[in-house]
Structure 1
């Protein structure tokens, strides 16, 4: 006897379909190195400086010239090994007028004052001083100091995500848009809705046309589309709209716990 098995399934079509966009700004600078990474880089840098070749002064300063005399007058000669002397930092190892146990320090002469501006000084901060120290820009911007969440010039070493606040519920979430008869493709709904919400002065790149997450809430299904902002600025067309660019740790404090548990793993 042959038995057949039938499965009773009920397929329900969601009544509401939304397309949400996870718009992110990728990091602009590298992350702050840890203590271990800083120590390792400092060790490698010092080791490289000690093993580097001796500075070829003969290539840059011709022997017997005034330029060579000025250069030699600025150099700090190495300490030579003398009999009967105790050296706390180790016995000097001098080769070619260089202490090989340490990095070679070269002091270059200052350039002459500019003829156009004779009052300009040859100080350490002068732009004509080739010995001046190159200082990088600060990692902390004005937006960080002011706590401006609407600026993209903040948290430069983190991924920032665009979230908006609902006028009805007062909850924060990613921008989501309803499917309509004019546009039924998910990524096009998200892209067009973003520009209707924040203006067309924004250049974005959609990572994939396929959604990365489907969030079911009753009869409503929200599909999430990932995208990056390449240039431009998000400028809401309505002043009542509240938005913010937040990092992942800040997003957890803004949105609800249930919402974050559903989409937290999608964020970098």
Structure 2
């Protein structure tokens, strides 16, 4: 098998088939890439040799053509001198050299075609090498991606297994912790007094005292120290702690009923 046949065999190689049929596609492609690189060096050498041979053939052709022209000139001179024998001998040499020149011309044309074929094979082989290199890089990329995916899946499986065993994640609280925090917040809210509600009750109590004292100017009401009422005290306790207003005034009773309604509304 000559060089061109080996190159054509490599060029006809289907990379997809090589990858599918090979036990180790990456190894097979690397071997194919190595063979192509070796053939590429040989093709380049053969192209240079063919070009040099073509130049030699062209030079021989030119030499034969020049010699044939010289013998033709001698034959013309012999004819002018009426020397037919010398003219015949010169024409014989002319015809031989002319045939040799045509032979070298044919060889030169064949050599040029060979050089053209070798150059075309060289370009195709270079393109095939690039294709093989690209396929190799693609396989290597897929291999790396597969390894990364495998590691990610292994990590996820380990995390899932740890979750099944009941190991809580260090970044997320458990359900029991969430319940305990909610219960503590509710207890803290229940134990803290409501300053705004207490202030409103004190203000309403002062207003009640003023209204109760207005109708009885001659009767001095005993002064009591203001007491802080808890929001949870009932309306009956509040009414029992206040001094009873004179029964002669119905307006005080009406005001007291309004105050009870207000207190019930605030506690509601």
TM normalised by structure 1 equals 0.18
The structure in which a higher percent of residues are helix is 2
TM normalised by structure 2 equals 0.18
The structure in which a higher percent of residues are strand is 1
